[in-house]
Amino acid sequence: MEFMVSNLFPRNVIGDYDIRGKVGIDFSAEHAYQVGLAFGSIVQQQEGKTVSVGQDRRKTSPMFSSMLIKGLLDSGANVIDLGKTTTPYVSSSYNFIDCDASISVTASHNPAHYNGFKFSLFGNSFFGDDLQKMYERIVNKSFRSGSGKLTKRSFVDNYINYIKRNFNISEKSKVIWDCGHGAAGEFIELAVKDLKGEHKIIRSEPKDVPDYDNSKISFLEKTKEELDKNPGFIAFTFDGDADRLVIVDEKKEVWTGDEVLCFLSLVKRIKSGQKISTVWTSKSSKKITDWLKEFEIESFFSKVGHCYLTNAMNKNLSSIGGEISGHYIFRDNFFTIDDGIFTALRFLDCMSIFPYKLNQIKSIFPKVWVSPSLRIKCGTLKKKEIMEYVENILVISDHSFELKDDSIIVNHPMGWWLIRPSQTENVVSLRCEGWNENGYMEVKNFMETTLANIGLII
């Protein structure tokens, strides 16, 4: 039976692996209702019935969650309301309670005026073509009609016990846990309870802040202030929905995602006593992945995005995968879900086998000359146009490059650089690496000159 709704659904909020946009500009709670109708219809069409729903701590999340749940119920789907929680908790619900699918109401690391939805179905990511087909269902108003049942449930104790199991945390551990006013707060309070060592929790209270992006300098300024007050401590920081981890060592040096994944891979190799493989993204440091070959750690590369990393890990039977932004996935013992809190606990466990400070461990890694991930607003141009212009310039100038997934990787005798479109904003993302310091500057200048030709200034 067709169920009629009003308001055209905006296509621009449909990303590659989630729905995300500015509240009141891109979409509204009415659109959350349409998402509920569409996703509930899809779940039932595939012989499912029950959807778990959780929300982050944004002020708009209760309204979006309420309308989403109403849509699910009106489609005939049953709903388990998990309340305010982290995205990894919602994603793992398939493994802990009787549900067929999940939706997390969140805009992840984006500012407070954003919101959105992340989905899973039968324990797998719901992304790409799945989201496009759901959009078509919304446009065509192809919804089921029914009266689902709403219940509230928590499995927090089981979840916390699971992520803490089998880890050996040193009594010498000294950690600042920076929740960034996001969803991590209450979960970290439970996770660090009874842990050995000294643990201080900051910014755990809910608050709408200018940015939930724990990779940005503005976010990490507060983290470093706390490290100044607590000599010898390291810091774990979390984004808005706690699926991302950024680490700052006792000398206030921010570890790159490459360094974290390198360390996790090395310890996995040491503990297993066997050859292993790790999945990286195309933006990862090639110098680090080449160095890991010396330890019989093979590297595979994936398109950016949890769903793509997971697929690559399963295909190559890889133990670990990750992105430079701070998402890490473990195939060996955590449902291939990117959970910042679980990663932090595993990182502490890895540290326990080394009699060194974290900054000393970092010195083991090869010296790299690589830029941070740079995000450039496209202005009046569309990100798709930017990508086409760059490709045309490279073709005309006869430079070596390759098209990999959604990225352009430009080869250079002294290194490489990459450009890819953002999945959620009219922004392009850039990164470059040189084989030495002079090479880095040469590659960086080449990248900047190429982009300046189309009016983009880094």
The H-or-E segment that residue 276 falls in is: strand 276-281
> pLDDT tens-digit profile of 295-313?
999 999 999 889 999 999 9
The CATH code of the domain that includes 426 is 3.30.310.50
Report the distance separating Cα 65 and Cα 396, nearest Å.
50
Confidence class for position 326, pLDDT limits 50, 70, 90:
very high
Active-site annotation, residues: 108
Q: What was the pLDDT predicted at 457?
A: 85
**Are 55 and 137 contained in the same domain?**
yes
pLDDT surpasses 80 at 2: no
328, 362, 396 - which closes a domain: 362
Average pLDDT (185-190) is: 95
pLDDT band at 7 (very low <50, low <70, confident <90, very high): low
Residue 384's pLDDT is 92
The pairing of strands 320-322 and 328-330 is: antiparallel
Same-domain check for residues 174 and 139: no
Rounded mean pLDDT of the chain? 94
- Unique residue bearing structure tokens 């779940």: 43
447: Cβ–Cβ under 8 A, 6 or more apart, which residues?
410, 417, 430, 432, 458
Q: Same domain, yes or no, for 288 and 395? A: no
Domain count, the chain: 3
pLDDT at 103 over 60: yes
Residue 371 has pLDDT above 90, yes or no: yes
pLDDT at residue 423, as a whole number = 76
pLDDT digits (tens, 9 = 90+) for 10-58: 998 998 899 999 999 999 999 999 999 999 999 999 999 999 999 999 9
* Whether 303 and 435 share a structural domain: no
Cα 444 to Cα 455: distance, rounded to the nearest angstrom: 16
Measured CA to CA, the distance from residue 8 to residue 34 in angstroms comes to 10
Is pLDDT above 80 for 183?
Answer: yes
Residue ranges of E strands in 73-195: 78-84, 101-105, 114-121, 124-125, 150-152, 174-178
Look at residues 110, 131, 154 and tell me which one is the last residue of a structural domain. 154
End of a domain among 138, 154, 170? Answer: 154
Q: Is the pLDDT of residue 376 over 50?
A: yes
Residue span of the structural domain in which 447 resides: 369-452
Residue 91 domain-assigned? yes
Do 146 and 162 lie in one domain? The reply is: no
pLDDT computed for residue 6 by the predictor: 42
pLDDT tens track for 134-174? 999 999 999 999 999 999 999 999 999 999 998 999 999 99
Give the pLDDT score at 1: 39
Residues 283 and 388 in one domain: no
Which pair of structure tokens corresponds to residue 351?
Answer: 């540290």
pLDDT tens for 226-282 read 999 999 999 999 999 999 999 999 999 999 999 999 999 999 999 999 999 999 999
* Residue 290 shares a structural domain with residue 409: no
Residue 325 lies in a domain: yes
pLDDT at 413 over 60: yes
Q: What is the CATH number of the domain that holds 303?
A: 3.40.120.10
| pLDDT value, residue 364 | 93
Whether residues 22 and 80 share a domain: the answer is yes
What are the Cα distances from residue 329, in Å, to 190, 333, 390?
22, 10, 32
